[in-house]
Amino acid sequence: MSGNTNRTDDLLSKYLDGLLSDREAQELTDLVGDDPETARDAALSLCVHASLVQELRPAESFRDLTPSIMERVRARAPRAAARRRTASFRWGVWAAVAACLAIVVGSVVYNTHQPATQPEKIVAYVEATSPKVVVTRGDRSIVAVLKMTLEPGDTIVTGSGERIVLAYQGETTRVELKEDARLTLLTGAPVEGKSLRLESGDLTASVATQSPERPMIFHTPHARALVRGTVLSISVKNTSTRLDVTEGRVEFAKTSGRASIDVTAGHYAVAKDGTDLVARPVPGADLLQQLVQRASTTRTVADMKALKDLSRAAYEAELARGEKCDLVRLVYLGVARAIARNPKEDRQTEDLRFILDRAVGEDTQADSTAAGLSTKDRKIIRDNCRRARKLAEELYYDEWAALLAPLQDKTIRRLPSLTEALLFEDGYVTFYERGLPRVAEPLLEGMKSRFGGFPATDYLARSVLPLVRIAAARNRRLEETIQFDSLQFLSGGAWEVRGDTIDSEKQHPFRSLVKKQEDTKGIYVAALPHIPFRRAVLTGQVRLRGLGDNPGMFPWRWGMTGQGALRGQGITLERAKALETDRRWTWFFILFVHREDGRWGMVRWEWLEGDQPHDLTTSKPSLPPRERSSLGAKNGGLVSYGDKSWDMTGHPRIILAAEDASVEWRALGLHIVEEGTEKEK
Amino acid sequence: MKSIELAEFEELVGSHQKMVYLYVLALVGEHFLAEDLTQETFVRAYASDPFRRGEIEHIPAWLRTTARHVVYQELRRNRRHPITFIETIGIEIDRLRMTARESNDILRDALRKCSQRLTGKARSVLEMRYGEGISAIEIGKKTGKTQTNINAILSRIRSGLRDCIKMEMEQGT
């Protein structure tokens, strides 16, 4: 017994110090489970530990948890209050109850307990931001980052092309500050509600229902707008402030006067010295409303085509206003434009801005629910909006990139939660697919400056890889520890960069087939048109060190593949061509596919010695002079090196090493959608 | 029947947070984790059944039970602690509480009394570990001992205090 007690004490000490191993934890569990007396002693030991904390720790070091708890409770208060609508409680005897609560000490209260009248705190934070937006706090300037909590008095300044989205804890209110704008958070005291001052620039806001006593107030140099729940946009010029209301109603007043007007949905008003406040209908708003109505109830392709003229008219009305669309309108326009689908129009809408926010989906669904629509109708709306989002995602790649920028240096372990925070549904996949052609343009610039004209890996790492990581994490097809250093993407069509030109329109997914491999100086990825899947992502990284005449480490290079066909469970390449053969031991490429049976498979390895390609699946080229070895692949996924072999299925990384030489290869994401599982659009 | 107001609830939180904190601390041993779980306990309490029904006499027990379940849930989620051990210990701690309620301050008095019997060195180590919140490694550096030594000393002190308190409580009851 004594031995057990001593051992239990040792283990308990480790437990309290957080040093208990799994095996010791099991041992401790067994010890207390086997002997009630040991269990009682252990319980008392833990109570002693807690008592020592309470007795010896200075009272002031106990953090008062009340503010944190109340903040969370208040965030849930409306829901909880609804549940407790009929409840009652006698609170007069709480003090007496407290005395009975003590486990160890009895009724001890925190010295730092705050009075019950502590005001509710309004907490605003950054939900999305461009990389260099600056927040001025007192004398300090801070670069805004995701989830950063904002304080009253903070001033946010956006530069050209920048934007930032603010959110409020516990509600769906969102404020998007556009480029070249200046916004200050005012007191935020609960008695005044949320309060912002827009000094210059534009903002749009989707404001959740506010308490009637505490409306959200937007101040500008010329006016103030009291909001109790609506969607609006405000634009501040040198001498005037314009308010546009998309939904709900806003009380609008000049700073210089007490008179106010109500501006309702589809109307706008301008506050300017020397003119009266008048609410006027927004041009084209009626068209938009019609469009929304029609688009929301469209069921057939014929109906959708019938919307084309209407959508064009609404769109042109938007452009005629010369103003940027707000979120909801853009979604609806996106619906219509997805229907009309005119690529030239896409180009014209590049000045529009789109908030990539889950609120899109939530708002839309909330609207349709509020309208009392049937489940079927709601599904149609949802599908329409999803289609609109896909289109918008392609159009607004820059915004996506801004949102994703903070992911660059994160480890993949953290990505899923960030993904959830930033994105919704499968939008990232769509973006990845559709946005990639637009990556090509800056990529081309990067190519000129790095690696003798070869793709700039750093650019890829910055701009595209996070997306792949997200997709990989979401699809759970890669290990968390994998490192991505290169990638290629291939849709069912083709993506191609030749020399200094790229025609992204032609690269639109699912549009074209394989392009010829004429210029090998750039990036080239060719589709495998005979493979009965629609798109595939492939390739690995090659890092050669100390091999043959190779002077050192090649950051990476990647090759191409020819045409091929997937037959049954295996793949046979009908033709393969190597690129860039100016160095010995340089080229090396690999194609992985996700096979029909759900496993990863390796299609082909090829090794170039001088100008001569070697098919590693059938030949054994001479490898580093010091180590004549062989590489081979068989059975789709089994890689052999010398007398060793690796099953690459489930192994994202492999290093082939021989003394002072090594070949390191890393598999990247590969995602294949079989043909016919998703109709081409 | 009136529903609880936020101000009243805030008062409740202020009055009982330390009790819940200590209870959770006894279970999980870690200060910061105990704070987090204490918060979670009260957040759940706000919408709880006893509050709705106004069963005041059940509130303390309910708070404790909620805290225990919050702890279990967290530990299962994080897999950082031996959950079976904690479940067993949780029951024992509740039993201990039932005993202690008979004579409310026995445990506290016993602890104070037993603490006075500690040697100066032991009291010094305890003060550094609990009062100043210094880690065993740091204490070792200050006292010229190894971390293992300090852990062993702390373990001996705690078990000594436990045995002493146990004896005191038995005499008290």
Q: Which of A311, A681, A675 is nearest to A528 (CA)?
A: A675
Q: Is residue A389's pLDDT more than 70?
A: no
Of A155 and A289, the one with more pLDDT: A155
> Is B55 strand, coil or helix?
coil
pLDDT band at A306 (very low <50, low <70, confident <90, very high): low
Q: How far apart are CA A53 and CA A64, in angstroms?
A: 15
Contacts of B25 in chain A (CB under 8 A): 49-50, 53
**What pLDDT score does A620 carry?**
37
**DSSP line for A167-216:** EETTS--EEEE-TT-EEEE----TTT--EEEEEEEEEEEEEPP--TTS-E
Per-residue pLDDT, averaged over B20-35, amounts to: 79
Vertex A222: Cα angle to A218 and A225 (nearest 5): 30
Least confident of A155-159, A228-232, A450-454, B34-38: A450-454
Top mean-pLDDT range of A112-121, A245-254, A656-665: A245-254
Range with the poorest average pLDDT among A148-162, A381-395, A659-673: A659-673
**Do A329 and A288 contact (CB within 8 A), yes or no?**
yes
Closest CA to A656 of A567, A570, A574, A540: A540
Coil, strand, or helix at residue A591? strand
Contact A283, A320 (CB under 8 A): yes
Of A241 and A421, the one with more pLDDT: A241
- Does A670 have pLDDT greater than 70? no
Task: Choose the most confident range, by mean pLDDT, from A5-14, A459-468, A672-681.
Answer: A5-14
Position A376 pLDDT exceeds 50: yes
What pLDDT score was predicted for residue A198?
92
**B122 touches A at CB < 8 Å:** no
Q: How confident is the model at residue A514 (pLDDT cuts 50, 70, 90)?
A: very low
Find which of B88, B103, B137 to mutate to test the A interface (most A CBs within 10 Å of its CB): B88
Closest approach of A85 to chain B, Cα-based (Å): 7
* Token pair of A568 as six digits: 């049954």
Instruction: Select the residue of A65, A94, A118 nearest B35 (Cβ to Cβ).
Output: A65
Angle between helices A327-340 and A285-297 (to 10 degrees): 60
Q: Is A76 in contact with B47 (Cβ distance < 8 A)?
A: yes
The model's pLDDT over B99-122, given as tens digits with 9 standing for 90+, comes to 544 444 667 777 788 888 888 888
pLDDT band at A480 (very low <50, low <70, confident <90, very high): very low
Q: What is the pLDDT of residue A183?
A: 92
B76 touches chain A (CB under 8 A): no
Q: Which residues of B touch A105 (CB under 8 A)?
A: 19, 22, 105, 107-108
Q: pLDDT, tens digit, for every residue of A554-612?
A: 322 222 222 222 222 222 222 222 222 222 222 233 333 333 333 333 333 334 444 44
d(CA A167, CA A422): 13
Name the strand (E) or helix (H) holding A445.
helix A427-449
- The pLDDT tens digits for A627-658 are 322 233 233 333 333 444 433 333 333 333 33
A602 in Cβ contact with A592 (< 8 Å):
yes
CA dist A296 → A367, A368, A392, A482, B171 (Å):
11, 9, 18, 44, 79
User: B54, A16: Cβ pair inside 8 Å?
Assistant: no
Q: Which residues of B touch A54 (CB under 8 A)?
A: 18, 22
∠ CA A628-A632-A638, rounded to 5°: 135
The DSSP secondary-structure symbol of A61 reads: G
Query: What percent of chain A has a predicted confidence (pLDDT) above 70?
Result: 30
Chain B residues close to A104, C-beta within 8 Å: 22, 26, 100, 107-108
Q: What is the pLDDT of residue A577?
A: 29
Q: With contact defined as beta carbons under 8 Å apart, do A632 and A620 qualify? A: yes
Please report, rounded to a whole number, the percentage of residues in chain A having pLDDT higher than 90: 1
How high is the pLDDT of residue A69?
Answer: 79
Q: Which band of pLDDT confidence, cut at 50, 70 and 90, is reported for residue A439? A: very low
- Check residue A60 and give its pLDDT: 60
Specify the pLDDT at position B173: 54
Do B107 and A47 count as a contact with CB atoms less than 8 A apart? yes
Nearest by CB: A65 against B39, B95, B127: B39
Among A29, A97, A104, the residue with its CB nearest the CB of B84 is A29
Give the pair of three-digit tokens for residue A335: 């619906």
Question: For an interface test with A, which of B5, B24, B85, B163 has the most A Cβ atoms less than 10 Å from its Cβ?
Answer: B85
Residue-level pLDDT at A486 = 27
The H or E element containing residue A232 is strand A230-236
How close does chain B come to A212, measured CA to CA in Å? 19
Listed residue (B119, B94, B97) closest to B108, CA to CA = B97
